[in-house]
A and B are shown apart, each in its own frame.
Chain A
Amino acid sequence: MSASLDKLVREAREELGTREAKGVNWDAVDRSLFARIERERRAERARFFAPRSGRVWASLAAGLAVATGVAVFAGKARELPSPPVVSTEESAGTLVSVDGKTGEPGATPDDRYAQVLINGRPAARGALLRLGDVVETRSAQATIERAGKLSLILDRGTRVSVTHVQGALVLALAQGAVEAQIVPIPRGEAFAVDVESARVAVHGTHVRVARSDERVVVDLNEGVVSLGEAPRVGSVLGALVTAPAHAEFAAADTLGTLTVTHDPSEVRVPVALGAAERARSAFVAAPPLAPPKTESARVGPALSGVARPEMHSTALAAATPNSALANPNAEVALANAVRACMAERPRAENVTVVVSTTLHLELADDGTVRTARFDPPVAPDVNGCAAQSIYKTRFAHGGSVALPIALTVPE
């Protein structure tokens, strides 16, 4: 290190951030921090006690309703305390089947269900899972369905807790593996698995998430997943990985340790999952994305792919690339379509948004788009919107295309 740099470093060691750290308005930070922590504590308590107390309140409310009816009938109506508000929270799903050996000859289905514990107690067929429930499988695997939304299998020796049920289902995976088939939704995330602070979030796909200590393994057979830090609210801002893919990372540092291979032979063979699979096959008209060329790469946010849209309606499917005519101005049309997606994003007034990215396309010989990625990546909703245009476009040539896209809103 040169003498100049050495002295600069010495000065910076003494001064950079030292005064600022001492000058922090700690009163304000303390107030805000401990208010947030209190909210966290309340939310945590709600997560673990609300379902049980909810059920108690429901029984109480039912009892009060009966009591009120009796009182009115007897002409002795009295003012009763207002019944507590009964939570109408969504269920996380229903335990529909348990498969596996119990280890004992002549084991009955009930014995199999005893291999699955919900909050430490043996489960029963049809058991509803609720927010805060902890599900453990022993020597059997459990299938859980969320009607019309997803089917999932918990491998043997898995422990998960249900941490979110409104809209998206979020499971915290403490050990074992979860495999899920999710019916695609138009916007947002339908399902997520948290491993410590890392999140694997999916919009609609067939995915398996396994945990071995701090290591997380994701096998993706269809669609796209977002990998990143579990956000407090909103979508995961991280790497988007497109199928087929086998990804591994350390839970403590998702993006820093993420490795992805798109070699189909590396991706675990999916288990056929029930209702969601059927719902999906009825819903999705377009075939899944053809496997991209085999590649094994370390990816970060700068290598996020654009998933082929899963939401093709029948009408949209009629305009699939193969039936479309080659567009001699495909590049211009595509760039305009992507810009329109970016421009549609909500933004605050008086804010100028400047976006600059490059859309990298790999084209088949017939000019259809095989793979697409933005570098640097764009927001997940822009990805989804752009994908609708990208995979409908047919170029007049094959090969690779790099399409610079810049946008300033308002212009």
Chain B
Amino acid sequence: MVSLAPLGTRERPAPGVRTRMADEERLIARATAGDTAAFRQLYERHRTDVARLVYRMLAGRGDFEDVVQEVFVQVYKSLKDFRAQSKFSTWLHRVTVNVVLMHRRAARSRPAFHDDPPGEAFVRSDDIRPDEDAERRERVRAFARLLDRLADKKRIVFVLHELEGISPGEIAKIVGAPVLTVRTRLFYARREIESMLAEEPALAGLRLGFSKVASGEGET
């Protein structure tokens, strides 16, 4: 399977990867010509990566499966416009980012249903001593809440770079902005998350435990 995440940073693909890419090009050509079986293969190759990216960009909010579906509907409808001037993964990321943005904008213009980010209802009790996995999960949920508070543009570059491992140059192509702008957004995204880290009570508490675990103090 051609992984979405590292493609952005690969300069010269290894021979095996080249074969897969050539195979993918053939699939794209067939899918563009209306071959549904080829489209299905493309979809099956990329759906998990797209789902993960959508989940991250939505910061765990909403019906992300619906958004994933919407991404592939858009891919199907727009495949004829894919010029192969950029990598398929870059184009797929761009489609995904646009669909997520449209979803969030549409959600904002709809009445609010108090769609809380994951873990909002998490109640921490002193009587319970969660195991390390549970703490780790809670940290990730708290982190998702922080991501959710970022402005769309900053969250997108942060997720693409820090979580998906895509280079700023590739992100620039995905979001249609200069590389410098991407780097600036990344800088401010990090800074905002750093400052929010202190404001987030759940995470502030976790930070303490985190430091203890990290330094071995938390171990018994």
Contacts and interface: CB of A to CB of B under 8 A. Distances in A.
A7 interface: yes
Contact of A36 (B73, B111, B137): B73
Contacts of B43: 33
Contacts of A8: 139, 143, 197, 203
B194 A7 contact: no
B111 A354 contact: yes
B74 A301 contact: no
B140 A16 contact: yes
Given A5-B190, A24-B47, A37-B36, 11 more contacts: A11-B143, A20-B60, A33-B69, A33-B73, A36-B73, A37-B73, A40-B77, A237-B106, A256-B101, A347-B111, A353-B112
Given A5-B194, A29-B65, A37-B76, A16 B163 contact: yes
For the complex of A and B, the 3 pairs showing the least CB-CB separation, nearest first, are A17-B55, A21-B51, A21-B52
Interface in A370-395: 376-377, 379
B60 A7 contact: no
Interface of B: 34, 36, 39-40, 43, 47-49, 51-56, 60, 64-65, 68-69, 72-74, 76-78, 81, 94, 98, 101-102, 105-106, 108-109, 111-113, 136-137, 139-140, 143-144, 162-163, 165, 175-177, 190, 193-194, 197, 203, 207, 210-211, 214
A351 B113 contact: yes
A197 interface: yes
A204 B159 CA distance: 41
A381 to B, nearest CB: 12
Output the residue of B39, B40, B54, B98 with the most chain A CB within 10 A: B98
B69 A16 contact: no
Contacts of A9: 143, 162-163
Given A33-B72, A196-B81, A12 B140 contact: yes
6 contacts: A13-B163, A16-B56, A21-B48, A197-B78, A256-B175, A256-B176
A365 interface: no
Nearest to A352: B111
Contacts, number: 131
A237 B101 CA distance: 12
Main secondary structure of the interface of B (DSSP, over half): helix
A15 B137 CA distance: 8
A1 interface: yes
Main secondary structure of the interface of A (DSSP, over half): helix
A1 B190 contact: yes
A41 B76 CA distance: 10
A2 B192 CA distance: 12
B208 to A, nearest CB: 10
Nearest to A238: B105
Contacts of A355: 111
A5 B193 contact: yes
A196 B78 contact: yes
A76 interface: no
A4 B207 contact: yes
A15 B94 CA distance: 23
Contacts of B68: 24, 29
